[in-house]
Structure 1
Amino acid sequence: MTELSKKGLRGEVSVLRLYLLRGGYLLIVVGLGMTVWPDAINRSGSWELMEGVVQCMLLAFWALCVLGLRYPLQLLPMLIWEMAWKTVWLIIVALPIWTSGRMNDSTMDTVSACLLVVVFPFVVPWRYVFANYVKKHGDRWV
Structure 2
Amino acid sequence: MLLRPPLVSALRRNLENECDSTQRSAPPVPLWKTWGLRIIFAAMVIVLGSNQLNYILGGSSDWTNWRGLGHSMLFTLAVLAIGGIFRPLAFLPIMFYEIAWKLVWLYTVALPPWLAGQEIPNIVNARSSIIGICILIVLIPWRYVWWRYFSQPIEPWRRKKQASNNK
Instruction: Name the TM-score, length of structure 1 as normaliser.
Output: 0.84
In 2, Cα distance between equivalents of 1:32 and 1:79:
14
How big is the shift at 1:7? 2.9
| Unmatched 5+ stretches in structure 2 | 1-15, 159-167
In 2: Cα distance, 1:21 partner to 1:13 partner:
11
Q: How does 1:39-118 map to 2 (within 5 A)?
A: 39-43=55-59, 45=61, 47-104=63-120, 106=122, 109-115=124-130, 116-118=132-134
Report the Cα distance in structure 2 between the residues aligned to 1:50 and 1:59, rounded to whole angstroms. Answer: 14
Shift of 1:36: 1.1
Q: Which residue does 2:22 correspond to in 1?
A: 5
Q: Which runs of 4+ in 1 moved over 4 A?
A: none
Corresponding residue of 2:49: 33
- d(CA) in 1 for partners of 2:104 and 2:86? 28
* Bigger radius of gyration among the two: 2
Q: 1:65-87: CA deviations, max 9, x gaps?
A: 01111121111001011111211
Q: Equivalent residue of 1:106, what SS? A: coil
Q: Which has the higher helix share?
A: 1
More relative contact order, 1 or 2 (CA 8 Å, 6+ apart): 1
1:93-121 deviation line (CA, Å, top 9, x unaligned): 322221112224526x5423422222211
Name the structure 2 match of 1:16. Answer: 32
**Residues 44, 132 of structure 1: alpha-carbon distance in 2 compared, 3 angstrom cutoff:** closer
For residue 63 of structure 1, what is the amino acid of its counterpart?
Answer: V
Stretches of structure 1 lacking an aligned partner (at least 5 in a row): none
Indicate the SS of the match to 2:119: coil
Aligned Cα root-mean-square deviation (Å):
2.2
CA contact (8 A) 1:22 1:72 kept: yes
